[in-house]
C-alpha cells in the first residue's frame, strides 16, 4: 500500500530502505538523520548511528539540530570524542556515510565550500566539516540532494569531499582507502549509482511520475544508464506514518518539500 | 577571575584563538562577548565546526585569518548572512581543513610532535587549499596527508565543573577538547559550577582536563547560552533565529549587537535581556526531554 506523499518524504523513505539492519551509518543533521532514524524505527532496529562529534549509538528520541548537540548521545552506548569517531571510520568500521552538498559532478565529487574565486568567493558555503573525512574513510557514501542543473554539474568548482575524483582508480592513486567511494545518490527525481568500470554516474531508478528524459534535462552532464532502469518504490503507508509521527512530528524536514 | 579579566590578561590583539565545544554546543559565550567588547583585532581562529562562536567573532570583526573546516553556517538552522559577508569580502584569509584533520593537528601538538597523519583529504581541493603535504610511509609505501601540529596561543573551553585550580570535568562528548587543552599555550576554563578540590580528589578519573594545563578559571553559570549544555539546558533556538534574522540587514544588525553585546555590562545582564531564569528553566526542561 502507498499513500500520498511529498518529495522529501519520498527521498527519506528511499534512503532509509537502503540502510540494512546491523550496519553502521555516519550521519549529519537534516534529511540523512531522518532517514537513519526511520530505518531504525522500521526495518533496521540494530542500525548503529554515529555522529562525528562523538555520539555513538544513541536512542534518537528527538531530531538533533547539530551533529554535536546532546540529542546525538541521548542514552547512547558511548559519548566519545571527534578523534575516536573519525579513527573508527579510518579503521574501516563504518559502513555508510550520508552527505549533501551544493554541487555534485559525474564522479560523485561534492562541493560544499565555495563558488567563484576562492579568495573572494561569489558564495561561501560552510566547507567540509567532517564530510571530507566521511567521504574518504567510510565504505559507502550516500548523497541526498535536490536534482537540477545548477547542482549536477560537469565539474565541481571546489572539490570539498571526494567521490571517484577523475574516474576509476583515482581514489586509490591519491592514497584514499581502496574500495571506498560514493554508492547511491537519492534525489527528488531518481536514484543514481555508479558504473562499476568507469565510476561515472548512472541512473538506476526513476521515481513514480518522473521520466528518464526529465532526469537528463535536470543533469548538467551526460548520464549513463544502469542495465535495467526500474521505478523507485513509493513510500509504504506504515513507513510514512512512522516518519510523520515519530521521526519528524514538527515537520522540520518533511515540510520543507 | 571574571571573563573580562581573563580576556584582558590572556587574549591580546593578534592572538591565535581556539574555542572548545562543537557548533553551538558547550561554547564559552561569556568570554566571546568580552572579546567583542574589548574590540579585539587581527586574531587568528581555529574553526572546526564553528557556528555561533564564529558568528560572534565575525560580528566583532575580530579575525583576519582562519583555519577552517566548517564556518559561516549554523548547521540545520541555516547560514549566517553577516559571517558570509565577512568571508566573501576577503576580510579573512582562509586555510581549508577537515574536522578530523584539525583534531589530529591538535593531537600532534599535544604529543609534542611537529606533525600528524590522516588518511582523508587526499585528492581534493580541501587538501590543495590546506597546508598539508603528501608523505609516504617508510614501512609500507602508503600515501598519507601530513598535517602540521597546531599550538593555539589561547583556548577557551566551557565545562560542567571545575575546582579553583582548573581541574575540570566534562559530561557527554568531549569532541576535540581533550586535545585542544593539551595543545594550547594558554587555557581559560569557564565552568557552570565550581566544586571543591576534595570532590575532584574523591573522583579523579572524571578529571578530563588537569589543573596544570589551565591558566584561568571563570565561574560562568549558563555560560554556553544560547548554545546547548549537555544535561543542563538546550540551545535557545528562538534567540539564535533572532540573530540570523537581524543579520540580513547590516543596520538592523548593528542595533542588535548594541542591544545584546556592546551596551551590556556582563554576561548576566545578557541572560536577563534574553528572558532570564524563566527562559533558562524552559531550556532546562527541553534538555531533559521532560515533555
pLDDT at A122 over 70: yes
Give residues 271 to 290 of B whose Cβ lies within 8 Å of A: 287, 289
Name the β-bridge partners of B256. Answer: none
Q: pLDDT value at position A29?
A: 86
Q: Exposure of A122 by Cβ count < 10 A (0-12 exposed, 13-18 middle, 19+ buried)? A: exposed
**For B158-183, how does the pLDDT look when each residue is reduced to its tens digit (9 = 90+)?**
999 999 999 999 999 999 999 999 99
**For A36-81, how does the pLDDT look when each residue is reduced to its tens digit (9 = 90+)?**
999 999 999 999 999 999 999 998 888 999 999 999 999 999 999 9
- What integer is the mean pLDDT of B99-118? 98
CB of A73 within 8 Å of a chain B CB? The answer is yes
3-state secondary structure of B42: coil
Q: pLDDT value at position A6?
A: 95
pLDDT at A220 over 60: yes
> How is residue A203 annotated by DSSP?
E
Q: pLDDT value at position A61?
A: 86
Q: Are strands B63-68 and B93-96 parallel, antiparallel or unpaired?
A: parallel
Selection from B53, B45, B49, B46 nearest residue B22 by Cα: B49
d(CA A175, CA A172) in angstroms, rounded, equals 5
ipTM: 0.96
Q: pLDDT value at position A2?
A: 55
d(CA A37, CA A28) in angstroms, rounded, equals 12
Compute how many other C-beta atoms are within 10 angstroms of the C-beta atom of residue B273: 13
pLDDT at B256 over 60: yes
Write out the three cell numbers for B77: 538552522
- What integer is the mean pLDDT of A122-134? 97
Confidence bin at B220 (pLDDT 50/70/90): very high
Radius of gyration (Cα) for chain B, nearest Å? 19
Q: Are strands A96-99 and A140-144 parallel, antiparallel or unpaired?
A: parallel
CB of A187 within 8 Å of a chain B CB? The answer is no
Tell me how close the Cα of B199 comes to any Cα of chain A, in angstroms.
23
Among A161-165, A248-252, B286-290, the minimum mean pLDDT is found in: B286-290
CA dihedral sign of residues A129, A132, A136, A141: positive
Selection from B79, B53, B46 nearest residue B235 by Cα: B53
CA dihedral sign of residues B149, B153, B159, B165: positive
Left if phi > 0, otherwise alpha if psi is -120 to 50, otherwise beta: which for A209? left
Q: pLDDT value at position A231?
A: 98
Judge contact between A116 and A110, C-beta under 8 A.
no
Selection from A193, A231, A187, A256 nearest residue A2 by Cα: A231
Q: pLDDT value at position A118?
A: 95
pLDDT at B14 over 60: yes
Q: pLDDT value at position B43?
A: 98
Q: Do B76 and A72 touch (CB under 8 A)?
A: no
pLDDT at A1 over 70: no
Q: Between A61 and A212, where is the model more confident?
A: A212
Give residues 191 to 250 of B whose Cβ lies within 8 Å of A: 228-231, 234-235, 237
DSSP per position, A62-115: S--SSTTSGGGGTT-SEE-BHHHHHHHHHTT---EEEE--SEE-TT--EE-SEE
Tell me how close the Cα of A131 comes to any Cα of chain B, in angstroms.
8
Q: pLDDT value at position B286?
A: 95
Confidence bin at B291 (pLDDT 50/70/90): low
Q: pLDDT value at position A256?
A: 80
Judge contact between A62 and A247, C-beta under 8 A.
no
Amino acid at each position: 500500500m502507498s499513500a500520498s506523499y511529498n518529495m522529501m518524504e519520498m527521498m527519506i523513505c528511499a534512503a532509509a530502505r537502503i540502510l540494512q539492519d546491523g550496519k553502521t551509518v555516519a550521519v549529519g543533521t537534516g534529511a540523512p538523520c531522518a532517514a537513519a532514524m526511520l530505518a531504525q524505527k522500521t526495518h533496521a532496529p540494530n542500525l548503529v548511528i554515529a555522529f562525528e562529534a562523538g555520539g555513538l549509538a544513541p536512542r534518537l528520541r528527538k531530531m538533533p539540530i547539530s551533529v554535536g548537540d546532546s540529542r546525538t548521545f541521548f542514552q547512547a552506548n558511548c559519548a566519545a570524542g571527534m578523534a575516536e569517531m573519525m579513527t573508527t571510520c579510518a579503521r574501516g568500521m563504518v559502513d555508510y556515510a550520508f552527505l549533501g552538498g551544493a554541487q555534485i559532478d559525474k564522479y560523485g565529487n561534492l562541493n560544499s565550500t565555495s563558488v567563484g574565486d576562492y579568495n573572494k568567493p561569489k558564495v561561501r558555503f560552510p566547507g567540509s566539516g567532517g564530510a571530507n573525512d566521511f567521504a574518504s574513510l567510510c565504505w559507502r557514501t550516500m548523497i541526498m540532494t535536490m536534482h537540477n542543473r545548477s547542482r549536477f554539474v560537469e565539474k565541481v568548482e571546489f572539490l570539498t569531499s571526494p567521490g571517484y575524483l577523475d574516474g576509476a582508480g583515482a581514489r586509490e592513486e591519491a592514497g584514499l582507502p581502496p574500495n571506498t567511494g560514493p554508492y547511491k545518490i537519492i534525489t527528488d527525481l531518481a536514484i543514481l549509482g555508479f558504473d562499476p568500470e568507469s565510476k561515472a554516474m548512472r541512473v538506476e531508478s526513476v521515481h513514480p511520475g518522473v521520466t528518464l528524459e526529465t532526469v537528463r534535462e535536470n543533469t548538467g552532464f551526460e548520464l549513463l544508464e544502469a542495465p535495467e532502469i526500474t521505478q523507485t518504490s513509493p513510500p509504504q503507508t506504515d513507513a510514512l506514518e512512522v516518519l510523520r509521527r515519530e521521526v519528524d512530528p514538527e515537520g522540520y524536514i518533511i515540510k520543507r518539500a | 577571575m571574571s571573563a573580562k579579566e581573563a580576556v584582558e590578561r590572556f587574549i591580546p590583539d593578534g592572538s591565535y584563538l581556539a574555542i572548545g565545544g562543537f557548533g553551538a554546543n558547550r561554547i564559552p559565550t561569556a568570554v566571546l562577548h568580552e572579546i567583542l567588547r574589548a574590540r579585539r583585532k587581527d586574531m587568528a581562529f581555529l574553526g572546526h565546526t564553528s557556528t555561533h562562536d564564529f558568528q560572534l567573532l565575525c560580528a566583532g570583526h575580530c579575525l583576519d585569518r582562519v583555519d577552517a573546516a566548517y564556518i559561516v553556517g549554523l548547521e540545520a538552522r541555516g547560514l549566517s548572512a553577516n559571517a558570509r559577508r565577512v568571508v566573501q569580502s576577503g576580510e579573512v584569509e582562509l586555510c581549508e581543513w577537515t574536522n578530523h584533520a584539525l583534531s589530529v593537528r591538535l593531537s600532534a601538538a599535544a604529543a609534542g610532535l611537529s606533525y600528524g597523519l590522516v588518511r582523508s583529504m587526499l585528492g581534493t581541493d580541501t587538501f590543495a587549499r590546506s597546508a598539508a603535504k603528501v608523505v609516504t610511509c617508510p614501512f609500507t609505501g602508503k600515501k598519507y596527508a601530513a598535517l602540521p601540529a597546531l599550538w593555539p596561543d589561547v583556548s577557551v573551553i566551557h565545562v560542567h565543573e571545575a575546582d579553583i585550580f582548573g581541574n575540570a570535568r566534562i559530561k557527554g562528548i568531549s569532541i576535540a577538547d581533550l586535545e585542544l587543552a593539551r595543545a594550547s599555550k594558554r587555557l581559560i576554563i569557564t565552568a557552570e559550577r565550581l566544586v571543591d578540590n576534595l570532590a575532584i580528589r574523591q573522583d579523579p578519573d572524571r578529571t578530563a582536563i588537569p589543573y596544570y594545563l589551565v591558566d584561568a578559571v571563570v565561574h560562568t553559570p549558563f555560560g554556553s547560552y544560547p548554545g546547548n549544555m549537555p544535561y543542563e539546558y538546550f540551545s535557545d533556538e528562538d534567540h539564535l533565529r533572532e540573530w540570523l534574522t537581524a543579520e540580513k540587514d547590516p543596520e538592523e544588525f548593528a542595533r542588535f549587537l548594541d542591544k545584546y553585546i556592546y551596551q551590556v555590562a556582563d554576561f548576566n545582564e545578557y541572560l536577563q535581556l534574553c528572558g532570564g531564569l524563566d527562559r533558562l528553566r524552559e531550556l532546562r526542561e527541553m534538555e531533559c526531554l521532560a515533555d
